[in-house]
Amino acid sequence: MALFLTISFSSIATGIHTWLAGTMQNEMLVKITEMAIAGISLLLFLVPLCFFLGYMERKVAAFMQIRLGPNRVGPKGSLQIVADTIKLLLKEGLTPTASDKFLFNLAPMIVVVTSMLVMAPIAFAKDFQIWDLSIGVLYVSSVSSIAVIGILMAGWSSYNKYSLLGAMRSGAQIVSYELSVGLSLISIVILTGSLRMSDIVMSQENGWWIFKGHIPVLISFVIFVIASTAEINRAPFDLAEAEQELTAGFHTEYSGMKFAMFLLAEYINLFVVSAIGATLFLGGWMPFHIGHWEAFNHIMDFIPSSLWFFGKTFAIIFIIMQFRWTFPRLRVDQLLTLEWKYLLPISMVNVLFVTVMAIMGWHF
Amino acid sequence: MSLLGEPELTEEGEFVINIGPQHPSTHGVLHLKVWLDGETIKKIQPHLGYIHRSIEKMSESLSYRNFIYATSRMDYLSAHINNQACALTVEKGLQIEAPPRAQAIRILMAELTRLSSHQLWWGCTGLDLGAVTPFFYAFRERELIMEIMEETCGARLTQNYSVPGGVMYDVHPNFQNRVKDVMKQVKSRFREYEEALTGNVIFEQRTKGVGYLSAEDAISFGCTGPTARASGVSCDIRKWFPYDGYDKLQFDEIIMTGGDSYTRYMVRMEEMKQSVAIIEQLIDNIPEGDFQAKTKMVIKLPKGEFYQRVETARGELGVYIVSDGAASPYRIKYRSPNFSNLSALSHMATGAKIGDLVAIMATIDLVIPDVDR
Amino acid sequence: MFLKDYFVTIYKSVGSLLKGMKVTGYYFTHPKEIQTQEYPDNRATLQMFDRFKGEVVMPHDENNEHRCTGCQACEIACPNGTIKIITKQELQPDGKKKKAIDTFVYHLELCTMCNMCVTACPSDAIKMAQTFEHSVYDKRQLKKVLNAPGSKLMEGVE
């Protein structure tokens, strides 16, 4: 147990790196090998993660709806989602005759790949990151907006009016909600003075921003959660799918594996936005520290950093899931009203407050 | 606009989508042809007939006792009230009246049916607007009422409990206690319903001002039930043409004047409370006596026309029987509430968004088998 | 004034949303409120109501005797031809011929469980059973003969 505690993700990563550097002379080769390892381990991490998130969503929904949820396949139904995935894999992937076949098949790839790209700058544990690039936050907010192209592509190429309506809704929605997400991320960047993810986490060593930043950061956290729920097309903002209105929106025509990829992307996106929210506002892998209580801080440090990270991420995921299973869906014009009349003005004024706070040094 | 739907040319920028017959929010096999300009609805044409089972024609070859069972399959959510309407019409023709006990039992069952129907509607409204969870809360209470039905009538949905002259058999000995328990639970849940959906700001936004129907339009489209009462039209058959002793009961006819989806929602929510009030008045005062009047083995109605209207959960159901003196009706016509209410849909939804169409359909509370019969 | 309205709207909206989340949160944290019945597992304890209309059966006593006289009242009462009674003339010990049932055919696939046959029966020969798992792979299996082979009319039932 003691041995286990001393092994952290970062020590494994450093171990692999030194071993590779020792065995391979060519520095280029080492880099490429490491990239391959990172990619494969990301994939190996994402698939079980999505299984878990799918299971979690079903169970959360079931408990809120006074049901039991999946309880047949595997212990407590935990393998139900695996069975469903196998079913989707075995199903025929139909491509409508009238569709633009190239774009139709490309769209799910784009959606999945963008959501995976955003994983790069996320710090999963202490010193454990795929790519700690210096513009981490900017990278996240710019890459995540590519997903809308995949959705528009899917809607346009399906040759289905429902799909088209869904895609158009999604386009309007993501373009507008990106602003609020960006502005709420900016407020943390202002306070930290850096776009680098590791810097942002380190700046929260003596307290998370949500506690240090007073009310303005709290407001931007709330705006971030709402706007990112909208950005990843989840209820109550799931207008692009809107089952009751558009049957399935942009992925009406998709089936089999291609449909599964949209589902996969949805859960990866859910994880990504929660992870970013956790990193920026709740300190990422940073344990819970209170000012100068050295003893308390020391105890908190004993909990592995990865546990802190995943705990915080799943707390946000749970909130977003609860949104989905509580609220009715907004109408398309109300969706835009919410963004342009409420979230955007508030977050703009909020950024002003945060800036004043940062200049005056009023935060802890 | 041609009613029989020859293909019409669409204007520039207009496009047509077919909502239904298989669509999550049409609650059955309704087919709506919708002309859209972007998200805005320009015109709606309902296409019917996907679940036509010719109940009216079928009834012409059945005896006056036998044709009632089929009406359970019309508006299956107010099955008992449909049966009651038919039984009342036959009783009118025979010029008999059900014994007081049978009448009380019928009213109790009718109000329980109305309550369960409105509960299902409440859940489905949430579901249609995208909130899935209220559906399950609604079904929890509905299940309790279904159990009462099952215990006394032997079936949960298609009870076939009303027969000409009364009810098929007496209530179960447990009936009164069970109803009292259930009413206690149902009343305690109303607060939760309000917290979960009524007060929710998104719900209010989605329904307020959506699908406005003026009182004049409600009358001219022949809307009845909560749909018309939300527009300020007083049309509760239980008050205007009391049957089975509704005139002896204290209850309010809920009339509101908003005319929009939110008002229709509120009318139904209040009606649930009124149904509970009726049941509570009656449950301890079920008169003793026979549960069925004596009727002949083979019922033959005298030559003539007989009409009886009742208030189902969705509006006015009229049963019109033409008799030529034989053992089975010469012609039966049902004036079903949903058919008339559906006719107002196009008027209400023109100019609204697709999302609003779903909200309007949810608050009209359509049951498609009743439209087609 | 406008600003005040603006913030009051936000305050009220957030309040109403939190109220909704309180309801779902309550049920999430109270698993004892779960209503699900795990149906095939609770078969042993599942008790149907005694009036539940599952299918029409004809009770036989220990001597393999039923109460059906073959009067066909149920066949007439049935709205959709679910019941077909084939009768025969049986020779009585005193030499008279008497009508008796040969086969009582009941088509479960046509039955709507309206209970009209049971109320029509003058001799309480048929009743509703509380079974409900009727699904079969071949619809011919739904055509049932209700009188047991070799059964005869109970003494004293006219």
Kindly state the DSSP code that residue A330 receives in the 8-state scheme.
Answer: P
d(CA A76, CA B32): 42
Q: Which domains does chain B have, with CATH numbers?
A: 52-339 (1.10.645.10)
pLDDT in tens, A104-161: 888 888 888 888 888 888 877 777 777 778 888 888 888 888 888 888 888 888 888 8
Determine the angle formed by the axes of helices A27-64 and A80-90, rounding to 10 degrees: 110
For the segment C148-155, the average pLDDT, to the nearest whole number, is 76
Interface contact B199, partner C, CB < 8 A:
yes
pLDDT band at B300 (very low <50, low <70, confident <90, very high): confident
| Closest alpha carbon within chain B to A327 | B131
What 3-state DSSP class applies to A176? helix
How far CA A226 is from CA of A324, B197, B238, in Å, comes to: 11, 19, 48
Look at residue B64 in the predicted model and tell me its pLDDT: 86
Whether C23 and A326 lie within 8 Å, measured CB to CB:
yes
Q: Which residues contact B162 (CB under 8 A, 6 or more apart)?
A: B68, B80, B83, B84, B86, B87, B106, B109, B168
Domain boundaries, chain A: 84-360
Lowest mean pLDDT of B123-132, B262-271, C27-36, C93-102, name the range: C93-102
d(CA B192, CA B181): 18
Among B17, B126, B140, select the one facing A328 at the smallest CB separation.
B126
| Closest alpha carbon within chain B to A235 | B130
Q: C53, C115 in Cβ contact below 8 A?
A: yes
d(CA C138, CA A102): 46
Q: What single letter denotes the amino acid at residue B91?
A: E
Look at residue A230 in the predicted model and tell me its pLDDT: 86
- Chain B residue numbers with beta carbons less than 8 Å from the beta carbon of A233 are none
Q: How far does B368 lie from chain C, in Å, by closest CA?
A: 20
Look at residue A364 in the predicted model and tell me its pLDDT: 64
Look at residue A1 in the predicted model and tell me its pLDDT: 40
Interface contact B174, partner C, CB < 8 A:
no
Residue B290 has phi, psi (to 5 degrees) of: -75, 150
Measuring CA to CA, which residue among B40, B42, B34 is closest to residue B18? B34
Q: Would you tell me how many other CB atoms lie within 10 Å of the CB of residue C78?
A: 23
Whether A63 and C21 lie within 8 Å, measured CB to CB:
no
Look at residue B8 in the predicted model and tell me its pLDDT: 56
Token pair listed for A198:
């590791």
d(CA B28, CA C122): 41
Q: Compare B308 and A207 and report the one with higher pLDDT.
A: B308
d(CA B79, CA B73): 7
d(CA A285, CA A313): 10
pLDDT band at A291 (very low <50, low <70, confident <90, very high): low
Measuring CA to CA, which residue among B308, B266, B275 is closest to residue B107? B275
d(CA B137, CA B156): 19
pLDDT band at A6 (very low <50, low <70, confident <90, very high): low
How far CA B39 is from CA of A239, B13, B46, B347, B357, in Å, comes to: 12, 11, 18, 17, 11
- Chain B residue numbers with beta carbons less than 8 Å from the beta carbon of C114 are 69, 158, 160
Q: A328, B130 in Cβ contact below 8 A?
A: yes
Among A60, A68, A71, select the one facing C28 at the smallest CB separation.
A60
Look at residue A7 in the predicted model and tell me its pLDDT: 62
Torsion, Cα of B125, B130, B134, B135 (10° steps):
70
Look at residue C102 in the predicted model and tell me its pLDDT: 82
pLDDT in tens, B84-105: 898 889 888 888 888 888 888 8
Whether B195 and C22 lie within 8 Å, measured CB to CB:
yes
Measuring CA to CA, which residue among A259, A240, A262, A162 is closest to residue B23? A162
DSSP A212-246: HTHHHHHHHHHHHHHHHHHHTT-TTS-TTT-HHHH
Whether C51 and B168 lie within 8 Å, measured CB to CB:
no
Look at residue C114 in the predicted model and tell me its pLDDT: 84
Kindly tell me if the per-residue pLDDT of A176 is higher than 60. yes
Lookup result for tokens 């010469």? B330
ipTM score for this prediction: 0.81
Q: Is the dihedral of CA C127, C133, C139, C141 positive or negative?
A: negative
- Chain A residue numbers with beta carbons less than 8 Å from the beta carbon of B356 are 331
Measuring CA to CA, which residue among B190, B124, B117 is closest to residue B149? B117
The pLDDT mean for chain A works out to: 82
Q: How far does A168 lie from chain B, in Å, by closest CA?
A: 10
pLDDT band at B2 (very low <50, low <70, confident <90, very high): very low
pLDDT band at B168 (very low <50, low <70, confident <90, very high): confident
Q: Which residues pair with C33 in a beta bridge?
A: none
Measuring CA to CA, which residue among C68, C64, C65 is closest to residue C85? C68
Measuring CA to CA, which residue among A153, A148, A149, A144 is closest to residue A115? A144
Interface contact C64, partner B, CB < 8 A:
no
| Closest alpha carbon within chain B to A169 | B39
Whether A327 and B200 lie within 8 Å, measured CB to CB:
yes
Instruction: Determine if residue B323 is left, alpha or beta; phi over 0 gives left, psi from -120 to 50 gives alpha, anything else beta.
Output: beta
Kindly tell me if the per-residue pLDDT of A348 is higher than 80. yes
Kindly tell me if the per-residue pLDDT of B169 is higher than 70. yes
Look at residue A2 in the predicted model and tell me its pLDDT: 45
What 3-state DSSP class applies to B147? helix
pLDDT band at B10 (very low <50, low <70, confident <90, very high): low
Among A60, A68, A342, select the one facing C36 at the smallest CB separation.
A68
Which one of C18, C19, C23, C117 makes the best mutation probe of the B interface by having the most chain B beta carbons within 10 Å?
C23
Among A65, A331, A334, select the one facing B136 at the smallest CB separation.
A65
pLDDT in tens, A48-57: 888 888 888 8
pLDDT in tens, B268-298: 888 888 889 888 888 888 888 888 888 877 8
pLDDT in tens, A261-277: 888 888 888 888 888 88
Q: Residue B302, preceding bond cis, omega within 30 degrees?
A: no
Which one of C12, C49, C117, C127 makes the best mutation probe of the B interface by having the most chain B beta carbons within 10 Å?
C49
Q: Would you tell me how many other CB atoms lie within 10 Å of the CB of residue B127?
A: 23
d(CA A123, CA A34): 17
| Rounded percentage of chain A residues whose pLDDT exceeds 90 | 0
Q: Which residues contact B7 (CB under 8 A, 6 or more apart)?
A: none
Pairs across A and B, CB distance < 8 A: 83
**For residue C2, what is the enclosing H or E element?**
helix C2-29
Interface contact B152, partner C, CB < 8 A:
yes
Residue A290 has phi, psi (to 5 degrees) of: -115, 115
Kindly tell me if the per-residue pLDDT of C129 is higher than 70. yes
